[in-house]
């Protein structure tokens, strides 16, 4: 089941990567209608796979919706923040780290979708944001893969580093969309039909000239948020994860018809994992 969910995240990432790589093969980005359908359809399909693979039940879906709503509310208060900093990334990073890559991808995508609806930020950029923020949650899930025991200082450090990488990665991904509208400069801009090598060279110059400093605020802000609030948030989510997942222990029950439950999975003890 976990392999199915992991394959679904990988396939969703391939679909998203194709959208972002379109300009580097000489073409315009696809139309807004088609990209929106692809973005929303991919998120819906991934959600269906997670449910079918038993990674999500009704309580998990409720928690996902609650976290997305909290994140959307935070972004409604501070839409852009200082430079590229936004508080929306904290819960996405922590949620992905605790619940896994698939859950992290969905949490990022749903948070951006709800936020866009609340703040009126629906536009042709939205499907690209869904994938870019979804990848932030998925990256956090990969960083937390295989972690066991209660959250520790090491987890906070790992997640803070992940936040820095995700901050720059998100900015670079979204700059692909912005760059296609920048055609004024012959040395930086996008031009229809340009060779892939030249396109990469122009985009690299464009990013360094226009976005590196801006994205540094996001990357640094992510690290500061995780350092300041990461431990309690990770601990709370880990406890919720334990309460949401029950497990029937193998072996003969003490009496016919009795079920033996693992108390650790009920939140009464500490183990948690970041497996996707």
Instruction: Report if residue 249 sits inside a domain.
Output: no
Instruction: Report if residue 257 sits inside a domain.
Output: no
Instruction: Report if residue 265 sits inside a domain.
Output: no
pTM for the model: 0.82
Coil, helix or strand at residue 261: strand
Using the structure block, give the residue that is written with the tokens 């229809």.
Answer: 192
Instruction: Report if residue 165 sits inside a domain.
Output: yes
> Phi and psi for 248 in degrees, rounded to 5?
-85, 120
Burial class (CB in 10 A: 0-12, 13-18, 19+), 213: exposed
Expressed as residue numbers, the domain containing 144 is 2-244
Using the structure block, give the residue that is written with the tokens 């866009």.
Answer: 116
CA 62 from centre of chain: 18
Instruction: Report if residue 262 sits inside a domain.
Output: no
Domain count, the chain: 1
Question: How many whole angstroms separate alpha carbon 44 and alpha carbon 110?
Answer: 10
Instruction: Report if residue 264 sits inside a domain.
Output: no
Instruction: Report if residue 272 sits inside a domain.
Output: no
CB 168 within 8 A of CB 125: no
Instruction: Report if residue 252 sits inside a domain.
Output: no
- Along the 276 residues of the chain, how does pLDDT read in single tens digits? 567 767 888 888 888 888 888 888 766 667 667 777 777 788 887 777 777 665 667 888 888 889 999 988 877 776 555 667 888 899 999 999 999 998 999 999 998 888 888 776 778 888 888 999 999 999 999 999 877 678 899 999 999 999 999 999 999 999 998 888 887 778 888 888 888 899 999 999 999 998 998 899 999 999 999 999 999 999 999 998 887 765 444 444 444 444 433 434 333 333 344 444
Which pLDDT score is estimated for 48? 77
Residue 55, number of CB atoms within 10 A of its CB: 23
């Amino acid at each position: 089941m976990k392999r199915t969910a992991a394959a679904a995240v990988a396939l969703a990432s391939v679909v998203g990567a194709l959208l972002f790589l379109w300009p580097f093969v000489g073409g315009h980005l696809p139309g807004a209608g088609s990209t929106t359908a692809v973005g929303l359809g991919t998120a819906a399909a991934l959600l269906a796979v997670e449910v079918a693979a038993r990674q999500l039940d009704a309580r998990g879906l409720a928690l996902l919706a609650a976290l997305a709503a909290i994140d959307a509310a935070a972004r409604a208060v501070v839409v852009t923040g200082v430079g590229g900093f936004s508080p929306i990334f904290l819960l996405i990073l922590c949620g992905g780290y605790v619940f896994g890559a698939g859950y992290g991808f969905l949490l990022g995508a749903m948070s951006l979708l709800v936020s866009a609806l609340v703040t009126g930020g629906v536009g042709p950029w939205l499907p690209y944001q869904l994938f870019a923020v979804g990848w932030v949650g998925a990256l956090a899930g990969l960083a937390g893969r295989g972690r066991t025991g209660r959250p520790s200082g090491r987890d906070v450090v790992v997640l803070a580093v992940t936040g820095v990488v995700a901050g720059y990665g998100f900015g670079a991904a979204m700059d692909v969309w912005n760059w296609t509208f920048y055609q004024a400069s012959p040395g930086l801009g996008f031009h229809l039909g340009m060779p892939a090598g030249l396109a990469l060279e122009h985009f690299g110059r464009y990013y360094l000239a226009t976005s590196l400093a801006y994205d540094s605020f996001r990357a640094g802000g992510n690290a500061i948020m995780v350092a300041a609030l990461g431990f309690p948030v990770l601990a709370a989510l880990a406890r919720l994860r334990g309460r949401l997942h029950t497990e029937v222990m193998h072996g003969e029950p003490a009496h016919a018809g009795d079920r033996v439950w693992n108390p650790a999975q009920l939140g009464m003890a500490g183990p948690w994992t970041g497996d996707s």
